[in-house]
Structure 1
Amino acid sequence: MSSSSLLLPTTRVLTLRGVAVDHDGHPALRGIDVDAHAGRLLVVSGPNGSGKSTLLSVAAGLVVPQTGSIEVRPGTRIALVPQSTPLPAHLPLTVHDLVAMGTWARLGSWRPARRADRSSVADAIETVGLAQLSRRRIGALSGGQRQRALLAQALVQRADLVLLDEPMAALDAHSRTIVADAVDLLASTGAAVVAVTHDPGEFRRIDDRLELEDGRVIGRHAIAR
């Protein structure tokens, strides 16, 4: 059982208060407040330049805001799933290898995988519909297949906070359906999931929604569960 499954839905995993970020003198975020809770999917939407990706980078600890505070629940494991990017076809890394890397945080890269971990990797690959491609090199996959492999890695990682950067960008309808199901599974196992997108309609389930424009929050919505 993952540690995230032990958290109550009311558990606040991530808190941002008054966060402001400037990029080369241009305000990317202007006094943003964000709460992400265990077992809930928070979708952050808005047009290009609204600050979505910057918010995700702040949550991941990759960008330090000029002002404001960030609080992450102690002991939280964080998984960041970036947008899928092209990889060289000759890269000697298979789908199975990539997904198995999700166990490293628990085992270390040098320890042999246990039976339960091998089963977890196989289950995650099956969940994202890549069982027949588990030995295929990552560089030979389509963009949608690579994105699904990255999500499988997040499932194996058993993170408490999962950050998704445009997880369905440029995917075909089949891949979008599988990714939406995987995102649902991440939240249902107890993780706090934050996904940025141009189109909230891509997701089957949204528990909380934050709308950004020009670095400001222009709308908040929550669904009681």
Structure 2
Amino acid sequence: MNSTAITLQNLTLGYEHHPAVHHLSMALPSGSLVAVVGPNGAGKSTLIKALAGQLRPIEGEVHGLVHQRVAWLPQQTSVDRSFPITVQDMVLLGLWHAVGALGQFTAAHRQACHEALGAVGLHGFERRSIDTLSGGQMQRALFARLMLQDAPVVLLDEPFAAVDQRTTDDLLALLHRWHEQGRTVVAVLHDLAQVRAHFPLTLLLAREPVAWGATADVLTEANGQRALCMQEPFDEHAPVCEGTHQRPFAQAVSA
């Protein structure tokens, strides 16, 4: 069994103290390739934001990320495509950890950017403005930025939404390379056939954990029906979550 990369202990997440994810306890093995699935409004993106450090828990803790660099790819709809920046400059931001606020990008940095863009099929796009890119090209560029971040933990929120099949296949191949390199990859996905084909471990979430473990064991008809029954819309008038007890979830074995 691999060592544990991330441990969630009685984690409750939400907005203005109203919970979107309730009492989630689980351990993700280091170097695992994990899909997070569930109905709309199940709390999947909320969980990814918390792992990325963008959302403070209402209750509970996240262990294992404090001393690890984390690369986070939010949903593409959250990226401002109108911002006047070239593809090269956007991808170079992946080297922020190496350069810092006052540093300058060197010729070696630009060469690394050139190689990353070539790896995702965007050779020659360096000087293009990001507002000229198609959805698939933009996602390729964002993956090139992830490559330069060179983080041991990669978090992806719907990385293949509104992306053509060829781009999806190419980026899935990149995820598998990261997995082979021992990186921990967690992705929010909707295509269950894609999850079954490419992701050894799956968390099925419906505001509360429905199932967690080997994908074939999680993506069953019974679990799917249970997730749909547990789904409920966000209620801004719901009471504040008290979180008085923990609901443990079994630790998955390494795939």
**What TM-score comes out, normalization by structure 1 length?**
0.85
2:137 corresponds in structure 1 to 145
2:70 corresponds in structure 1 to 78
2:172 corresponds in structure 1 to 180
Using the aligned pairs only, state the percent identity. Answer: 34
**Gapped runs of 5+ residues in structure 2?**
215-252
Identify, as 1 or 2, the structure richer in strand.
Answer: 1
Query: How far off is 1:113 after superposition?
Result: 3.7
1:210 corresponds in structure 2 to 203
Spell out, residue by residue over 1:16-51, the C-alpha distance to the aligned partner (whole angstroms, 9 max, x if none).
111112445653111112333332211101111111
- What CA distance in whole angstroms lies between the structure 2 residues aligned with 1:165 and 1:224? 22
How many residues are treated as equivalent by the alignment? 215
Assess if the C-alpha contact under 8 Å between 2:32 and 2:254 holds in 1.
no
- What CA distance in whole angstroms lies between the structure 1 residues aligned with 2:25 and 2:112? 35
* Code of the aligned partner of 2:162: A
Displaced runs of 4 or more, over 6 A: none
5 Å-filtered alignment, 1:116-135, equals 116-135=108-127
5 Å-filtered alignment, 1:63-74, equals 63-74=55-66
Query: How far off is 1:111 after superposition?
Result: 3.1
Assess if the C-alpha contact under 8 Å between 1:83 and 1:147 holds in 2.
no
**Gapped runs of 5+ residues in structure 1?**
1-8
Query: Which is further off, 151-160 or 107-116?
Result: 107-116
Larger Rg over CA atoms = 2
1:40 corresponds in structure 2 to 32
Query: How far off is 1:122 after superposition?
Result: 2.0
Query: Which is further off, 105-114 or 165-174?
Result: 105-114
Assess if the C-alpha contact under 8 Å between 1:41 and 1:207 holds in 2.
yes
The 3 A distance-change label for structure 1 pair 44 and 141 is same
Q: CA RMSD in A?
A: 2.2
Query: How far off is 1:74 after superposition?
Result: 4.6
The 3 A distance-change label for structure 1 pair 25 and 224 is closer
Secondary structure at the counterpart of residue 64 of structure 1: coil
**What TM-score comes out, normalization by structure 2 length?**
0.76
Secondary structure at the counterpart of residue 50 of structure 1: coil
